[in-house]
Structure 1
Amino acid sequence: MDLAIRTRALRKRYGRHTALHGLDLNVAPGSVFGLIGPNGAGKTTTLRMLLDIIRPTSGEVTVLGESPRSGGPALRRRIGYLPGELRLGGRITGRALLRQLAEISGAVPAGAIDGLAERLALDLARPVRALSKGNRQKLGLVQAFMHRPALLVLDEPTSGLDPLMQREFLAMVREARDAGQTVLLSSHVLSEIQQAADDVAVLADGRIVAEGTIDALRLASVRRIRAALTDTTADAVTAAMSPVDGLDDLTVEAAGDLVRVSATARGEIDPVIRAIGTGTIRDLTVEEPDLEESVLALYARQEDLA
C-alpha cells in the first residue's frame, strides 16, 4: 500500500539556520496524522514543503504518490490546504470567493459548500472583509473541505474557533477519515490532536523527538500514583519501591494502621504496581496524564539530550 505522505531525510536551511534536520515521515492513507510542536518547531515549514510552496534544501518528498515539485496543479487539486496564517479580505462575499476557488480546486459536489457553512454557522452572504477572525477561519475550512480532496493539510485549523465549532471541526475530520481521506493536522492545541489523530509525531527544534499512537506517547509520560496499604510497614514499602526505575518524588508515610504512598512514575506502570503490592492495597489512584503532559516531558527530555 502506497503512503499518502512520505519524506526521507527532509532538510531545510535558511542561511545559517536549520529549520528541519533530516525529517522522516510516513503517513498512511485514510488516517489522521498529527504534528505536534511549539512555534518554531518546524511544523509549518514541513507542510509548505509538502505543497511545494517552499522547497527542501535536501531530502525526498512524495505526496499521494507524486513529487510535489512535478505533480503541478493536478496534484494540488487533490489536496485541501488551510494555511496557519490565513489572509482573506476584499469586498467579495464568502460565497463568491468559494465559487472562484472551486474553479481552481476542481469539482465541488452539489450542496457541499452550503452544508459545510451551515455546520460551521458561517454566513456566506457577508463580505469577507467584514468577517471576524473566527469566521474567516471557518471560510478557510470550507474551502479546504468542499471538494472532498484525497488529502487534507491543515495548519493550526482551530485558531479563532469557539469550543462548539472546534467540536464540529473534529467531527468533520473524523468523517473525512471514515470516507477514506487522509488528514495531516498540525497544531499546538494538544486536546484536538488527542481527540482526532491516529498517529502522532512530536517536533522540537526541527527534529522528531517521538512518534507513534496517542497511547504510545502516554506510555512515555508521567503518572501520579497514590496508595493506601495495610499489612506492611513504611520501611518495607520504601525498600520495595526505591529500586524501581523511573520513580520520582517517592513519599512513604505511616498513618495509624495504614501506609500511605505517593510518587510519580515515568514509563511502564507494572513494576510500580508490583512494588506497591508488597502490602494489601486498600486504595489506589493512578492519574493518567493528558497528552500535554506527555509532550512537555518529551520536550524536556530532548533538551536534556541536547
Structure 2
Amino acid sequence: MTQAIVVEGLRKKFGPREVLHGLDFAVESGTVFGVIGPNGAGKTTTMRCLLDIIRPSAGSISVLGQDPRQAGTALRRRIGYLPGELHLENRTTGRRVLEHFAAISGPVDPQHVKQLAERLDLDLDRQTRKLSKGNKQKLGLLQAFMHKPELLVLDEPTSGLDPLVQQVFHAMVREAVDDGATVFLSSHVLSEVQQAADAVAILRDGEIVTVSTVEELRTAAVRQLRFNSTGTEPHDVGALLARVPGVANVAVRELKADGHTAGTVEAVATLSGHVQPLVQELAKLNLTDLVLEEPDLEEAVLTLYAGQPPRLGQSTENGQSAGNGRTPGRHTEGAHRA
C-alpha cells in the first residue's frame, strides 16, 4: 500500500520555543488517520505544516508523493482542507463562497454540491452572517468535500455539529475513502476519532505518544470486572485471578445474608489486555453473575496524556501560530481565510 503522507523528524519553532519535537508518522493511502490530543498539543500546527501554510523548522514532509514546499497550487487542488477556526466573509451567501472555492480548486460538479448541501441540510442562499456555528461548519465541510479531493485534511471537523449531522459527516468520510481518498483528521474528542479512524496518533505537548489502531487502544484499555461465584473459597478465587495476565486491583469477599454465610464469593478487579485468558479461568468457577465493562478508552488515552510532565513554556496552538505563518497557497489560503 502506498503512503499518502510521510512525516519524518518534523520540528517547528516559533521564536525560541519549539512546539513540535521531531514527529514521525505515515498515513496509508485510502485510510482514515486520526490525530487526537488536548488543546495545544500541536495538532493544528502539524496540519498547517502539511499544507505549507507554515514552514517547518526541521524535518521532511511528503504529501501525495510531493514536498508541499515545492509542489505549489497543483498539489493544493488535490487536497480538501477544513481549518479549525473557519472565518467566513459576512456579506455574501454560502453559494457565493462555494463558487469562490470552486474557482480555486478546479472543476466542481454542481449536482454534487447540491446533494451534499441536502445531506447536510444547509441552505446555500442564506447570508453567511446569519448562519449558526453549526451551519458555518457544514459550509466548511462542503467546501472541503465538494471537489472530491484525493486527500482531506480536517481540523476538528465535527465542532458545532449536532449528533445527526455528525453521523452524516462520518458517512461522507467513509464514502470518500471507498472512492480512494485519504482522510487526515484531528480532534480532542476520542469518540469522534474512534468512530472514524483506521489508525490513531496520540499527540501530547508536541510529541507523538503512540500510533495504533482503535482496536489496539481498546485491548490496552482497562476494563472493570465483577462476578459472583458459589462453591469456592475466597482465597481460591483470588489465586485463580492472580494467574490471569492483566488482572489487577483484586478484591474478594464472601457475601453474607442475615448474618450467616451465603456461600457466595464476590470478586472485583480490573483487566487490561486480552479477555480470552480470563474467560478460560472463569470457566472453572460456578458463576452466578458476571459483569465485564466495555473498556474506557477515554481513561486509557488520558493516562497516555499524563505520561510525562508538560514542558516549561508550553503555549496554546493559537499562541504558537499567531503572526508566524507565511502566506498560504491558493487552495489552502481560501479555506483558511474563508
TM-score range, shorter chain: over 0.9
Alignment match, 1:126: 126
- Alpha carbons 1:3, 1:29 under 8 Å: kept: yes
Alignment match, 1:284: 290
* Structure 2 residue identity aligned to 1:300: A
Q: Deviations over 1:197-251 (max 9, x none)?
A: 1111111111111212110011111111111122321011223334655433321
Give the whole-Å Cα distance in 2 for the aligned partners of 1:49 and 1:286.
43
Give the whole-Å Cα distance in 2 for the aligned partners of 1:64 and 1:224.
43
* Structure 2 residue identity aligned to 1:42: G
Alignment match, 2:4: 4
- Alpha carbons 1:221, 1:297 under 8 Å: kept: no
Query: Secondary structure of 2:306's partner?
Result: helix
- Alpha carbons 2:222, 2:296 under 8 Å: kept: no
Give the whole-Å Cα distance in 1 for the aligned partners of 2:190 and 2:251.
31
Identify which of structures 1 and 2 has the higher relative contact order when contacts are C-alpha pairs closer than 8 Å and 6+ apart.
2
* Structure 2 residue identity aligned to 1:62: S
Alignment match, 2:234: 234
Alignment match, 1:26: 26
Give the whole-Å Cα distance in 1 for the aligned partners of 2:194 and 2:171.
13
Alignment match, 1:151: 151
Give the whole-Å Cα distance in 2 for the aligned partners of 1:230 and 1:42.
53
Alignment match, 1:257: 263
Give the whole-Å Cα distance in 2 for the aligned partners of 1:9 and 1:158.
29
Q: CA deviation at 1:167?
A: 1.0
Give the whole-Å Cα distance in 2 for the aligned partners of 1:233 and 1:302.
42
Give the whole-Å Cα distance in 2 for the aligned partners of 1:295 and 1:132.
32
- Alpha carbons 2:6, 2:62 under 8 Å: kept: yes
Alignment match, 1:81: 81
Alignment match, 2:101: 101
Give the whole-Å Cα distance in 2 for the aligned partners of 1:202 and 1:135.
29
Asked if 1:223 is matched to 2:203, the reply is: no
* Structure 2 residue identity aligned to 1:80: G
- Alpha carbons 1:211, 1:217 under 8 Å: kept: no
Give the whole-Å Cα distance in 2 for the aligned partners of 1:220 and 1:298.
11
Give the whole-Å Cα distance in 2 for the aligned partners of 1:277 and 1:233.
16
> What is the TM-score when the length of structure 1 is the normalising length?
0.94
Alignment match, 2:50: 50
> What is the TM-score when the length of structure 2 is the normalising length?
0.85
- Alpha carbons 1:209, 1:302 under 8 Å: kept: no
Q: CA deviation at 1:16?
A: 3.3
Give the whole-Å Cα distance in 1 for the aligned partners of 2:277 and 2:16.
46
Q: CA deviation at 1:186?
A: 0.5
Pick which of 258-267 and 74-83 moved more: 258-267
Identity, in percent, stands at: 57
Give the whole-Å Cα distance in 1 for the aligned partners of 2:42 and 2:124.
34
Give the whole-Å Cα distance in 2 for the aligned partners of 1:303 and 1:265.
26
Asked if 1:140 is matched to 2:146, the reply is: no
Q: Deviations over 1:234-287 (max 9, x none)?
A: 011223334655433321011222211111122334444455455333332211
* Structure 1 residue identity aligned to 2:136: R
- Alpha carbons 1:237, 1:275 under 8 Å: kept: no
Give the whole-Å Cα distance in 2 for the aligned partners of 1:171 and 1:291.
23
Alignment match, 2:314: none
Pick which of 202-211 and 152-161 moved more: 202-211
Give the whole-Å Cα distance in 2 for the aligned partners of 1:77 and 1:99.
15
Query: Secondary structure of 1:55's partner?
Result: coil
Asked if 1:189 is matched to 2:157, the reply is: no
- Alpha carbons 2:223, 2:296 under 8 Å: kept: no
Query: Secondary structure of 1:84's partner?
Result: coil
Give the whole-Å Cα distance in 1 for the aligned partners of 2:296 and 2:236.
32
Give the length in aligned residue pairs. Answer: 304
Gaps of 5+ in 1: none
2:273 pairs, out of 267, 270, 287, with: 267
Q: CA deviation at 1:297?
A: 2.5
Q: CA deviation at 1:95?
A: 0.4
| C-alpha RMSD of matched pairs (Å) | 1.8
Alignment match, 1:201: 201
